[in-house]
Amino acid sequence: MNLEGRISIDLSYPSHDTGVVTLSSSRPVHASTLFEGKTIEETLQTLPLLFSICSTAQACAAVRACEQATKSQPPTGVEPIRQQLLSIEMIREHLWRILLGWSERVGTPPPESALAEVMRLQQELRQSLTAGDSPFRIVVSPFEPDMASFQQAVQQLKALLKQTVLGVDCSTWLQIESIDQLHQWISRQQGVATQLLHKIWQQQWHGLGRCLIPPLPTLEWDRLNQALSHSNYVEQPEWAGEPAETTPLTRTDSPLLHQLQLEYGNGLLVRLIARLTELAQLVESLDQPHSSTPSPVGFASGESGIGCCEAARGLLVHRVTLENEQIRQYQILAPTEWNFHPDGVVVRALQQLPAESPHLQQQASLIIHAIDPCVGYDLTINQRPPAH
């Protein structure tokens, strides 16, 4: 039973120093076609059950697409609640990656109690915002969040982040602006995050997997709508004729990230710091929900609607086409299809790994985890025997 599909990655060095990477995916990218023939209400109810990993992002992109297609708008105050729920899900996903994945990379047991606390706080934050109701329906009543409970849970989340990941307050960590300051922080702290970063610093793997790939730009709606009119587009999407990257790195900005990118491009260290930066920024922004500028969330064209939102792994796009109030076509374009494209960022990053490296398996795994597929993967490496 493998409904989720898997990603298969082969790295080999047949005749020269540059790696040859072959990537294939069995992800069921056309699964959303099962909503065709159903009503909007049925679809919005069942979709989060199916795509339950980033169910908030999926539900949000879905309702935004349906609102565009039906030319309807949510009541005032609902979009900020949706945005807050998206942030909470992204925070949870980033914390999972760090607490589970990063600790595994350095061979230490994951901090189980912290992971459980993350899950509990996520529930508490959601409950205080929505009281169990869903803002991901076409017609919703205005929400009256329990802000006292929400603020209390935010403070607990900040304390957890300080204690388990950063060692300092989020706001203090976000003041780190130079590579020297970052190194000082890594040297001083003894947490899950700094253990992995320390290892990368020691091994001088800062720029590991540095490669050229354009970030996914702000999409032009008409062009996207046109591209999605070809149903196979969601399998291996390209923009302006080439693959593009959509990850925390391509959407996060800070003085520190700017310095790191100048020095190490999109190498491994920069990717990990981008995740930490986005995590800290998201947690900080929970306190100031109205400070962020709302980004465009959808587009309508005839009977079709496109809805999008940022999910933990990158931009998520849904497109729905209606006919007689039923769904005629439903498509989902997920970030994994951009990033794990056969010539996408993962492939290009792995191609840069040195053929003679004694740590090839570890280096490749670090890069794949840093970019983060949302399914399991198999990595096969055919390394040339060392020259004598």
Partner 1 sequence: MCFGIPMQIKKIDQFIAHCEAKGFEREVNLFMLQYEELAVGDYIVSHLGQAIQKVTAEQAEAAWEIYDEMNQIDKEPPRA
Please identify which residue in 44, 54, 182, 192 interacts with partner 1, judged by CB under 8 A. 54
Task: Decide if residue 297 touches partner 1 (CB under 8 A).
Answer: no
Q: Is 374 in the site for partner 1 (CB under 8 A)?
A: yes
Q: Does 330 bind partner 1 (CB under 8 A)?
A: no
Does position 232 bind partner 1 by CB under 8 A? yes
Judge residue 230's burial from the number of C-beta atoms within 10 Å of its C-beta, 0-12 exposed, 13-18 middle, 19 or more buried.
exposed
169 close to 185: Cβ distance less than 8 angstroms:
no
Residues 272, 267: Cα–Cα separation, whole Å: 9
**Concatenated DSSP letters of 74-110:** PPTTHHHHHHHHHHHHHHHHHHHIIIIIIHHHTT---
CB of 196 to partner 1, least distance (A): 19
Among 8, 116, 181, 258, binds partner 1 (CB under 8 A): 116
Closer of 113 and 141 to partner 1 (Cβ): 113
Name the minimum Å distance from CB 315 to partner 1.
14
Residues 64-103: x where in contact with partner 1 by CB under 8 A, - otherwise, as a string: ------------------------------------x---
Q: The tokens 């253990």 sit on which residue?
A: 195
Nearer CB in complex with partner 1: 150/185? 150
Check the CA dihedral 199-201-204-207 and report its sign.
positive
The residue among 112 and 378 lying less far from partner 1, judged by its C-beta, is 112
By CB under 8 A, residue 140 contacts partner 1 = no
Q: At 386, list the tokens.
A: 């060392």
**In the window 2-41, what residues touch partner 1 (CB under 8 A)?**
3-5, 27-34
Q: Does 112 bind partner 1 (CB under 8 A)?
A: yes
Q: Based on the shown chain and the rule CB under 8 A, indicate whether residue 200 belongs to the binding site for partner 1.
A: no
The helix or strand, by DSSP H or E, that contains position 10, with its residue range, turns out to be strand 7-12
- Tell me phi and psi for residue 134, to 5 degrees: -110, 125
Which residues touch 254 (CB under 8 Å, ≥6 apart)? 174, 177, 277, 281
Instruction: Point out which residues bind partner 1 (CB under 8 A).
Output: 1, 3-5, 27-34, 46, 49-54, 58, 100, 112-113, 115-116, 118-120, 123, 230-232, 332, 334, 336, 374-376
